[in-house]
Amino acid sequence: MNYKYLFGPVPSRRLGMSLGVDLVPFKTCTYNCIYCECGKTTHLTTDRKEYVPLKEVIAELKDYLDQKPALDFITFSGSGEPTLYSGIGKITDFLKTEYPNYKICLLTNGSLFHLKDLRKEVRSVDLIIPSLDAVSDTAFRKINRPSPQLNPQNIIEGLVSLRKEYPGQIWLEIFIVPGLNNTESELKALKEAIEKIQPDKVQLNTLDRPGTEDWVTPASQKELETIVSYLGTDKVEIIAKFQPGKKVAAYNKDIADTILRTIKRRPCTVQDLSEILGLHINELNKYIHTLIETERIETERKERGTFFRAKT
Ligand code: SF4
C-alpha cells in the first residue's frame, strides 16, 4: 500500500522510533512560525474539520499496524497543526481499541486546548507535547504569527484546563528565539505560565537548521543553560541532539545516502526532495538535521526557500 497519511517511522530525538500520522494538508496551521522547518503557512486557520478522509487514515493505519512493526510511538504530527483535524478523537479511539500496545503521542502547537471538545478527544493519548513560546502578545505575534482570533492568555488557560483533565504526560516545549523570548520580562512570564500549567517536563528547543525567516538565529548552548537555571526546576531540559549511532534501528542509512546522492546532482529544497523521493517532509527533515550536524551538507537561502547541497 502506498501511504498518503503515514510517514516514517522516523528517528525522533525524544520519541525513539516514531510512526508519523499527518492529518492536515501541507502547512494548514493556526500559526505561521518564523522558525517553521516546513516553510510558510499557506492555510492559516482555526477551523477544525475532517481535512482528509477519516476512513482512509484508518485503512492506512490498519494496513501498517497489522504487520506488527516495532515502534516506540505513533505520533500525530506533520507539516501542519494536527488538532485542526476534527477526527483526531475517532482515530485515537480506533488505535486504543484495536492496537492497545502502541503508545500515542500528539505533537501540537497547543493553541486550541481552550476547546473543551478537543480536550475530551485527546484524553487517551499517552503523551502530549504542546508548544508555548511566548506569553506577551507582542512576542507571541512576532514568533508564532498566529491566526488573529488566538491570544496567549486563552492558550495558557487552555493548557491549564488540559492539565486538570488529562491524565497522561505533558511535555511543554519552548522554542527560544534570541531577542524575542529570551528577555527578562518574557522569561519571567513564561516561568509564571509554567507554574500554572504544571507540565511533567519543560523542553527548550532552538534553531538547528534554517527556519522560514533567515534572520532567526539559534540560541547558544550557554544561553539555553542560563534559561534552564533561571526557570529553576528539575523538570527543565535542553532537547538533546539526535545521534544516529544511538538509534540504529530508526536511522536508515540508505535514505541518508539517497538524499546525499540527489543533492549532489543539484541543490534541492526539502519540498523538492519530497517530490523526487516520495518521502514525507517530516521524515526528510530528520535526516537533514543529522546530515547538517555531521557536516555532510550545507544550506543556501534563495527566493524559493532553503536549498541543501552536498559538501564536497
Ligand atoms: S512550527 Fe508548527 S505551529 Fe509553527 S507554523 Fe510550523 S507547523 Fe505550524
pLDDT score for 77: 92
Cα–Cα distance measured from residue 13 to residue 235, given in angstroms and rounded to the nearest whole number: 17
**Domain spans in the chain, listed from the N-terminal domain onward:** 6-244, 252-312
Q: 81 CB under 6 A from ligand 1?
A: yes
Question: Ligand 1 test: best mutation among 34, 37, 81, 85, most atoms within 8 Å of CB?
Answer: 81
- Max CA pair span of the chain: 53
Q: How far is the CA of 144 from the centre of ligand 1 (A)?
A: 8
Residue owning the nearest CA to atom 4 of ligand 1 = 33
CATH topology of domain 252-312: Arc Repressor Mutant, subunit A (1.10.10)
193 C-beta neighbours (distance < 10 Å), count:
21
Report which of 230, 240, 296 is spatially closest to residue 263, judged by C-alpha positions: 296
Question: Strand 28-29 relative to strand 43-44: parallel, antiparallel, unpaired?
Answer: parallel
pLDDT score for 101: 97
Report which of 208, 82, 77, 81 is spatially closest to residue 146, judged by C-alpha positions: 81
Q: 133 CB under 6 A from ligand 1?
A: no
Q: What are phi and psi of 300, to 5 degrees?
A: -145, 130
pLDDT score for 2: 83
Q: How far is the CA of 80 from the centre of ligand 1 (A)?
A: 6
Per-residue pLDDT of the chain (312 residues; tens, 9 = 90+): 789 999 988 877 789 899 999 999 989 999 999 999 888 899 999 999 999 999 999 999 999 999 999 999 999 998 899 999 999 999 999 999 999 999 999 999 999 999 999 999 999 999 999 999 999 999 999 999 999 999 999 999 999 999 999 999 999 999 999 999 999 999 999 999 999 999 999 999 998 777 778 788 889 999 999 999 999 878 999 985 544 444 434 567 888 888 998 888 788 888 888 888 888 888 888 888 889 888 889 888 776 778 888 887
* 13 burial type by CB count under 10 A (0-12 exposed, 13-18 middle, 19+ buried): middle
Torsional class of 62: left (φ above 0), alpha (ψ -120 to 50), beta (otherwise): alpha
pLDDT in tens, 6-47: 998 887 778 989 999 999 998 999 999 999 988 889 999 999
Give the DSSP per-residue string, 141-187. HHHH---TT--HHHHHHHHHHHHHH--SEEEEEEE--TTTS-SHHHH
Atom of ligand 1 nearest to the CA of 145: 5
Residue owning the nearest CA to atom 6 of ligand 1 = 36
Cα–Cα distance measured from residue 58 to residue 49, given in angstroms and rounded to the nearest whole number: 16
Residue owning the nearest CA to atom 1 of ligand 1 = 36
300-304 contact pairs (CB < 8 A, 24+): 300/267, 301/210, 301/214, 304/269
Pick 6-244's CATH classification: 3.20.20.70, 3.30.70.360, 1.10.645.10, 1.10.10.10. Answer: 3.20.20.70
Contact criterion met (CB below 8 Å) for 129 and 107:
yes
Cα–Cα distance measured from residue 213 to residue 217, given in angstroms and rounded to the nearest whole number: 9
